[in-house]
């Protein structure tokens, strides 16, 4: 069984790449939060583990990457409020505007654009109005299907301050021990995406193919076990 915890860095690495690429394509900060991409990436990671067949000889990171990034891009496309035809009309207008700008040596007027597109000026204004609704999917400088070398994504997480490392190393170690020893695999598969990726109960239920109520029960059980395990190790745990 693949230990998905080892691949959380892969999710975060690609989420940051897509978020940055989207911001660049939109020439500003993305309206979609980085955490939303990470959540979708966790869902893709769990789906990859469910479908992975090690006998095929493909490294899990290579197999999982297009599913992780695909989940993020699918989420992004669902956020696009325009139909494909409307997006195409905006692209056509942009192309004509670029061609006329080059041939005229200046930005074309609405009348010139309408004439070139065989539309009314009102139609051109309506298409221009659609632009603010278009997510810059077609201009992303980002390879959603590329599998990165492990060194790239494993090194992508920020390194904590050395003093903080000293102060929290034992707690981190105890949490890892408790996750491994006190929780069943099905509990870890629910608790970690819920806590780290903020994945919704409904989304986890769909990926794991279990009812949402079952996901909730596993999460409650996992939190109780993790809390109890940490308390036996001397930690005052008030909120998992």
Q: What's the CATH code of the domain at 47?
A: 1.10.1740
Could you tell me the maximum CA-CA distance found in the chain, to the nearest angstrom? 77
Residue 113 lies inside a defined structural domain of this protein: yes
H or E segment to which residue 191 belongs:
helix 185-195
Q: Which domain holds residue 121?
A: 84-133
Is 76 in the same domain as 183? no
Q: Write down the pLDDT at residue 138.
A: 57
Is 66 in the same domain as 143? yes
Query: Which residue is associated with the tokens 């909120």?
Result: 239
Contacts of 113 (CB under 8 A, 6+ apart): 93, 96, 97, 100, 119, 124
pLDDT band, residue 57 (cuts 50/70/90): confident
Contacts of 195 (CB under 8 A, 6+ apart): 240
Q: Write down the pLDDT at residue 217.
A: 92
Q: Write down the pLDDT at residue 116.
A: 92
Q: Write down the pLDDT at residue 221.
A: 92
Is 112 in the same domain as 224? no
* Residue from 56, 34, 43 nearest 8 by CA: 43
pLDDT in tens, 86-126: 777 888 888 898 888 888 888 889 899 999 999 998 888 88
Q: Which among 120, 154, 188 is the end of a domain? A: 154
Q: How far apart are CA 90 and CA 134, in angstroms?
A: 8
Is 100 in the same domain as 122? yes
pLDDT in tens, 224-235: 998 888 888 888
Q: What integer is the mean pLDDT of 174-198? A: 79
What are residue 108's phi and psi, to 5 degrees?
-70, 155
Is 34 in the same domain as 118? no
Is 128 in the same domain as 146? no
Tally of structural domains, the chain? 3
Confidence (pTM): 0.50
Token reading at 139 = 């201009």
Q: What integer is the mean pLDDT of 37-49? A: 85
Is 189 in the same domain as 174? yes
Is 71 in the same domain as 107? no
The CATH number covering residue 214 comes to 1.10.10.10
Query: Which residue is associated with the tokens 């905006």?
Result: 90
């Amino acid at each position: 069984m693949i230990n998905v915890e080892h691949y959380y860095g892969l999710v975060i690495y690609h989420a940051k790449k897509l978020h940055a690429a989207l911001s660049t394509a939109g020439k500003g900060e993305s309206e979609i939060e980085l955490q939303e991409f990470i959540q979708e990436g966790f869902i893709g990671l769990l789906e990859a583990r469910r479908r992975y067949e090690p006998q095929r000889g493909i490294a899990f990171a290579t197999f999982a990457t297009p599913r992780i990034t695909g989940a993020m891009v699918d989420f992004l496309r669902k956020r696009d409020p325009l139909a494909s035809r409307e997006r195409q009309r905006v692209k056509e207008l942009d192309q004509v505007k670029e061609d006329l700008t080059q041939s005229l040596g200046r930005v074309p007027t609405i009348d010139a654009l309408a004439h070139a597109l065989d539309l009314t000026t009102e139609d051109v204004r309506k298409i221009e109005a659609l632009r603010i609704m278009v997510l810059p999917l077609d201009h992303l400088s980002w390879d959603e299907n590329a599998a990165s070398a492990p060194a790239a994504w494993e090194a992508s997480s920020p390194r904590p301050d050395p003093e903080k490392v000293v102060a929290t190393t034992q707690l981190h170690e105890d949490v890892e021990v408790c996750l491994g020893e006190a929780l069943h695999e099905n509990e870890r598969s629910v608790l970690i995406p819920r806590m780290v990726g903020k994945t919704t109960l409904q989304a986890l239920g769909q990926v794991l193919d279990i009812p949402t109520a079952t996901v909730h029960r596993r999460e409650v059980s996992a939190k109780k076990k993790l809390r109890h395990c940490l308390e036996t190790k001397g930690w005052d745990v008030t909120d998992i």
